[in-house]
Amino acid sequence: MGRKSSSSPIGDFVGKVGPVVLSESYGVGTVRCKPVKRGKEKSEEQEKHTKAFKRLNEFLQDAIDIINMGYQQGPKPKMSAFNAAVSWHFYNALATDQTNGIIDFEKLRLSNPIRKTQKAWQPSISAEDDCVINLTWKLNPLPNKYTRLDDEVVLVVVFPYHGEFRFATRTAIRNDLNIRAEIPYITKEQDVHCYLFMRSADKKLVSETQYLGEVRVKP
């Protein structure tokens, strides 16, 4: 807004009118455009990182419940479990060639143990008819002091769906030694990635994620 000034040599007004600035200094009147703040344009590398971060966030969003099960945080976490997972995968697991997926699937980490329980011993994955994934494991002959037979076994299957990836989970307990998981029929004749981690019954202990490999689903 401009204001009237009897000493102004520019029509007796000073101030701002829209994008125009009227001013007077030492008896000299000036008319100039209001400065416009310009954001610094992102470099090609920054644009690449921004797109990768967005794709990674979307990819892991479908696994948010699994991440909340498996990612442990310290007593005063600086971010949520989900944000911690996004950050870790961004810096450690992005695929060099992202044609077949945003991450290197062998590096996908669905658990982040601070207080550990023992991993599954000698796990094995196979495909059976009618879209069934069969997971077996054995009891470790040398269990550590935190290993319990009622530890929860979490099987995670990552499968392609309309150009994206989805997560399916099935659970059992360590003493079962087996999970036969029926997974969505849309996965038939497709390759899926399989993962496993353990969680204590009281949810206080978690094992590291084990990548079980890729299998072709049978119809």
- pLDDT band for 134, please (50, 70, 90 cuts): very high
Reported as a pLDDT band with limits 50, 70 and 90, residue 177 is: very high
Is 16 found in the same domain as 53? no
Eight-state DSSP code of residue 148 = -
Give me the half-sphere count of Cα atoms (radius 13 Å) on the Cβ side of residue 20: 8
Q: Which long-range contacts (CB under 8 A, 24 or more apart) does 29-35 make?
A: none
Q: How many CB atoms lie within 10 A of CB 93?
A: 17
Read off the CATH number of the domain in which 190 is found: 2.60.40.10
Beta bridge partners of 214: 193
Cβ–Cβ under 8 Å, residues 206 and 70: yes
* Same domain (yes/no): 29, 55: no
Q: Report pLDDT for 98.
A: 87
Residue 98 in domain: yes
What percent of the chain clears pLDDT 70, i.e. is strictly above it?
80
Task: Report if pTM > 0.85.
Answer: no
Q: Domain limits at 12?
A: 2-33
Q: Does the pLDDT at position 79 exceed 70?
A: yes
Query: Could you tell me if 128 and 189 are in contact, meaning their C-beta atoms sit under 8 angstroms apart?
Result: no
> Domain check: are 50 and 16 in the same one?
no
Q: Is the pLDDT of residue 10 over 60?
A: no
| Cα 67 from Cα 206, distance rounded (Å) | 11
Question: How many independent structural domains does the chain possess?
Answer: 2
- The verdict on 105 and 158 lying in the same domain is yes
Do 56 and 25 share a domain, yes or no?
no
**Other Cβ atoms within 10 Å of 130 Cβ, number:** 10
167-178 mean pLDDT: 97
